[in-house]
A and B are shown apart, each in its own frame.
Chain A
Amino acid sequence: GAGVSQSPSNKVTEKGKDVELRCDPISGHTALYWYRQSLGQGLEFLIYFQGNSAPDKSGLPSDRFSAERTGGSVSTLTIQRTQQEDSAVYLCASSTSPNQPQHFGDGTRLSIL
């Protein structure tokens, strides 16, 4: 389909390992967002890309989190030295421009053992 695609859909890993989550936005969408949803919580905004640049990285929970976007398309969210509190569903969204509705992927469910 033509929606936002995220991979993997599920990831289980041991504490201390690094993980990389991938997001493939809707074609032509220049704005890309990462959110996470912890159990029983709403969605927490992490970072936004306009094209390849992220003007503000202050939403990332710690310096173990990083994100990049190349070619104005695919984005990866990397979590280094994972901790149990990183367990959550990580959602990616894209939109045609920052003030238009965002369209979400189905997320990556990350479980840290």
Chain B
Amino acid sequence: DQQVKQNSPSLSVQEGRISILNCDYTNSMFDYFLWYKKYPAEGPTFLISISSIKDKNEDGRFTVFLNKSAKHLSLHIVPSQPGDSAVYFCAALNSGGGADGLTFGKGTHLIIQP
């Protein structure tokens, strides 16, 4: 049973446009959400996070939106740049869950077209 779902395995966006990556979750106990970016042969790199007490968090070109009622979050990248081409993972955590690690989605491969 997949608790974090990224339904788009890949996404192609033109350079300069907005990239929107989506993530859905099923576990209502999740209260902390993160986005990671991964290049081939490297470990995931933390991008941005959001606590369930907020509905938006912005950091430069990256903004994460959280809709708790829909159990949905999204990552917006604007403007998209060639270096943004990577696999993006959505992750979630139950901060009161004790010894649990992050629960990850399967990732979305973002391709920025020149």
Chain A residues contacting B107 (CB-CB under 8 Å) are: 42
**Partner-contacting stretch, out of A14-22, A51-59, A62-70, A73-81:** A51-59
Contact flags B81-104 to A (C-beta < 8 A → 1, else 0) = 000000001010101001111111
**Does A113 count as interface, using CB distance less than 8 angstroms?**
no
Chain B residues contacting A93 (CB-CB under 8 Å) are: 43
**Does A103 count as interface, using CB distance less than 8 angstroms?**
yes
Interface residues on B, range: 20 to 34
Q: Is the CB of B99 within 8 A of A54?
A: yes
> Hey, which bits of chain B sit against chain A, CB under 8 A?
4, 32, 34, 36, 41-46, 49, 89, 91, 93, 95, 98-107
Q: Is the CB of B102 within 8 A of A41?
A: no
Closest to B5 in A: A42
Q: Is the CB of B98 within 8 A of A56?
A: yes
CA separation between A44 and B107, bound complex, in Å? 12
Q: Is the CB of A42 within 8 A of B89?
A: yes
Chain B residues contacting A6 (CB-CB under 8 Å) are: 43
Chain B residues contacting A105 (CB-CB under 8 Å) are: 43
Q: Is the CB of A48 within 8 A of B99?
A: yes
Chain B residues contacting A50 (CB-CB under 8 Å) are: 99
Q: Is the CB of A48 within 8 A of B46?
A: no
